[in-house]
Structure 1
């Protein structure tokens, strides 16, 4: 069990709080986590944390311009498949929804403790395996760099089929990745009868990173197999 428990950072002073003083929620969402201020996460500084927050606020605002349902309460159960520091969930910050922040077991940095300190929900998972969805499925899935991360680990088709299983009909997915990766993903999800729309990075079309929006359709055997893509 000890291998599965995220430990508190070590302290050198007996009078110092092991996890730092708790800041009330929701202020805790954007406060500097103790794990970062104490240099417990390699290569993540206070500046890195603030830059990550700023970037994801910008990304989420761009998402909302394309998917106008994100601010309506339509998506209540949300999953971030590669949560990083949890800044995507923090940028959403709404009482109408909650986010399951997933830390891939093969991620370069283990930041699950930072996610917890921000007052968010999180879990470790290997996306080459099935994800336990009990007791709920999801309305919106965010996949940032997931397919690049697992490119040499398992098939994209297997990850997409698992996403299809845990996503509710008429649920949405936001893929953020390099163009060559998303071209392959787009072809696969259209074969799964999802509607798709590819858009440029919010900073312009010359950047190699793109965003693919997809919606899982209701369909029954025998109906028209065509999908809409842009």
Structure 2
């Protein structure tokens, strides 16, 4: 990370990854048995959970390979990894599973990656590894780059330290049916079994299976010392999953979704995204403040880098943005009170999370360029949430000059416009002219609040 004039430049040589991130990624691919990291999808790797992501260089590189890498790191008062990743335009959120489960369902990611992430994996009788096993899909990979490479001393001392670290890890990984696939210097790769019966064979020792239904809706539950997901219909090895974009009818059926409903939702969002951009483009041109000494604003090709869909449903809004070739990534949020469609969203290769909108979202202030919600206000109207608190939280998340698009019924939109005015957003109500009660509220957070 270097300061070049008035910008911070991130080079491929991440301080946590020796030899540069491209070489590191190529090494991981070879350890898995691939020719290059461009072949990750051939091994079933599409989504990666990067724990303690440093400068985010590994995730940024994976993004160039069209893979979805999400950074998760604990809250830091200064020097935040999550905030740095978000400012780079990379998917990231605050998360810490030292005491609680991450807000993901079982069988969520194809790979979990930890490069000197500061977690002692063999503590608490392997409870942290069991949580990794919970979110890892069958046949998925756990990559651990240990800190032994920073050890001063002879090569024999380094080897001894690695061996001492590996012994307890070997015992724990055998209990959870992982196989040590490869080791190269300080990097280890384990592969989770694709055979659910392995957990019933007695190899797992004292680690029991979770009771059926315990993992149906994971939202910051306490860590549990049991194996999850073995009875799920989603127990499909990553190597057997569809490699093409989109899900087949059979895969949709696993999620309890009818193909007709799914594609009707996608058609709706294709039309809505075209409508949104036709509305936003003239607003950006006309309302973008011209600050002293600045030239006229450029066309808004890169003014929106990330979007939070606060009511993601099937992830159709995300899909429609990709089809329109918008260079944004979307954090798909499934409200904790809604039907849990997060497994479907994650299986589509999108970033997503479960969240209760009566509580603060786990991110830093001013980290999103656009917030979008369809029907959230009327959904929460009968809940315990205070609407003005929700709008204050949205204002905290939104960057200056960021946009908010809310779609809801007329009563909810009128209420929302009142709250938007109270927090000094510029707000416009738009009638869709389709004879329905549905309205759009398009808001912009000003650069300076008067």
User: Could you say whether these structures have the same fold, taking a TM-score greater than 0.5 normalized by the shorter chain as the test?
Assistant: yes
Q: Secondary structure at the match of 2:312?
A: coil
Tell me the equivalent position of 1:226: none
**Following TM superposition, by how much is the alpha carbon of 1:17 offset from its aligned partner in structure 2, in angstroms?**
3.5
Partner of 2:393: 162
CA distance in structure 1 between the aligned counterparts of 2:439 and 2:335, rounded to whole angstroms: 21
* Contact persistence 2:364–2:397 (CA under 8 A): no
User: C-alpha displacement at 1:20, in angstroms?
Assistant: 8.4
1:51 aligns with one of 256, 264, 268: 264
Q: What's the offset of the Cα at 1:19? A: 6.5
Is contact 2:311-2:375 (8 Å) kept?
yes
Contact 1:170-1:217 at 8 Å conserved across structures: yes
Query: Does 2:228 correspond to 1:6?
Result: no
Q: Which of 207, 214, 218 in structure 1 is aligned with 2:447?
A: 218
Q: Secondary structure at the match of 2:399?
A: strand
1:64-95 C-alpha deviation (Å, 9 max, x unpaired):
11011597221102100010000001100136
Distance 1:76 1:33 in 2: 32
Aligned residues: 209
Q: Provide the C-alpha distance between the structure 2 equivalents of 1:182 and 1:102, rounded to a whole number of angstroms.
A: 21
Equivalent-residue separation in structure 2 for 1:11 and 1:155 (angstroms): 38
- The answer (yes or no) to whether the contact 1:19–1:35 under 8 Å persists in 2 is no
The 5 Å alignment of 1:93-132 reads: 93=322, 94=325, 96-107=327-338, 109-132=339-362
CA RMSD of aligned residues (A): 2.6
Structure 1 moving runs of 4+ over 6 Å: none
* Counterparts of residues 75-224 of structure 1 (less than 5 Å): 75-93=304-322, 94=325, 96-107=327-338, 109-134=339-364, 137-153=367-383, 154-201=385-432, 204-220=433-449, 223=450
2:269–2:316 Cα contact (<8 Å) kept: yes
What is the CA-CA distance between 1:159 and the residue it aligns to?
0.5
Q: What is the CA distance between 1:219 and its match in structure 2?
A: 2.2
Q: CA deviation at 1:136?
A: 6.6
Unaligned runs of 5+ residues in structure 1 are: 224-230
More helix by share: 2
**Secondary structure in 1 matching 2:313:** coil
Shift of 1:185: 0.5
Unmatched runs of 5 consecutive residues or more in structure 2: 1-99, 108-230, 285-298
1:6 deviates by 1.8
SS across alignment from 1:17: coil
Shift of 1:33: 6.9
Q: CA deviation at 1:32?
A: 3.4
Deviation (angstroms), 1:150:
0.7
Contact 1:10 / 1:18 at 8 angstroms: preserved in 2?
A: no
Q: Is the 8 Å Cα contact of residues 33 and 117 (structure 1) preserved in structure 2?
A: no
Looking at structure 1, the residues matched to 401 and 102 of structure 2 have their Cα atoms a distance apart, in angstroms, of: 38
Residue 32 of structure 1 corresponds to 248
Partner of 1:72: 301
SS in 1 for 2:360: coil
Greater RCO (CA < 8 Å, at least 6 residues apart): 1
